[in-house]
Structure 1
Amino acid sequence: MTSLVRRSWDRVSLYLPVLLMGLLALGTWWLVRNAPVPQTPAAARAPTHEPDYFMKVFSVKTFDGAGRLHSEVQGRMARHYPDTDTLEIDQAHMRSVSPEGRVTVATANRALSNADGSEVQLFGDAVVTRQAMRVGGRALPRLEFQGEFLHAWTNDERVRSHLPVTLIRGNDRFTADSMEYDNLDQVLQLRGRVRGMLMPAPAR
Structure 2
Amino acid sequence: MALLRGVLDRLSIYLPILLMSLLALGSYYLVRNAPSVQAPEVVRPPRHDADYFMRDFAVRTFDETGRLQREIFGVEGRHYPDTDTLEIDKPRIRAISETGAITVATAERGLSNGDGSEVQLIGNAVVTREPTTGRSGQALPRMQFRGEFLHAYTNIERVRSDRPVILTRGDDVFTGDAMDYDNLQQVMVLRGRVHGTLQPRQGAAAR
Question: Quick one: which amino acid aligns to residue 99 of structure 2?
Answer: E
Aligned to 1:22: 20
Structure 2 residue 92 is matched with structure 1 residue 126:
no
Distance 2:79 2:30 in 1: 49
Are the aligned partners of 2:111 and 2:119 in contact in 1 as well (CA < 8 Å)? yes
C-alpha displacement at 1:160, in angstroms? 1.0
The TM-score, its normalising length taken from structure 1, stands at 0.87
The TM-score, its normalising length taken from structure 2, stands at 0.86
C-alpha displacement at 1:4, in angstroms? 4.0
C-alpha displacement at 1:141, in angstroms? 0.7
C-alpha displacement at 1:201, in angstroms? 2.6
Q: What is the CA RMSD across the aligned residues, in angstroms?
A: 2.3
| Structure 1: runs of 5+ lacking an equivalent | none
Aligned to 2:153: 153
Distance 1:15 1:61 in 2: 91
Greater mean alpha carbon deviation, residues 29-38 or residues 103-112: 29-38
Identity of aligned residues (%): 51
Distance 1:65 1:193 in 2: 43
Structure 2 residue 43 is matched with structure 1 residue 50:
no
Question: Quick one: which amino acid aligns to residue 188 of structure 2?
Answer: L
Equivalence map 1:35-74=2 (5 Å): 40=39, 42-74=41-73
Distance 2:55 2:75 in 1: 6
3-state SS of paired residue (1:201): coil
C-alpha displacement at 1:110, in angstroms? 0.7
| Structure 2: runs of 5+ lacking an equivalent | none
Aligned to 1:197: 197
Question: Quick one: which amino acid aligns to residue 62 of structure 1?
Answer: T
Distance 2:2 2:45 in 1: 76
3-state SS of paired residue (1:8): helix
C-alpha displacement at 1:50, in angstroms? 1.9
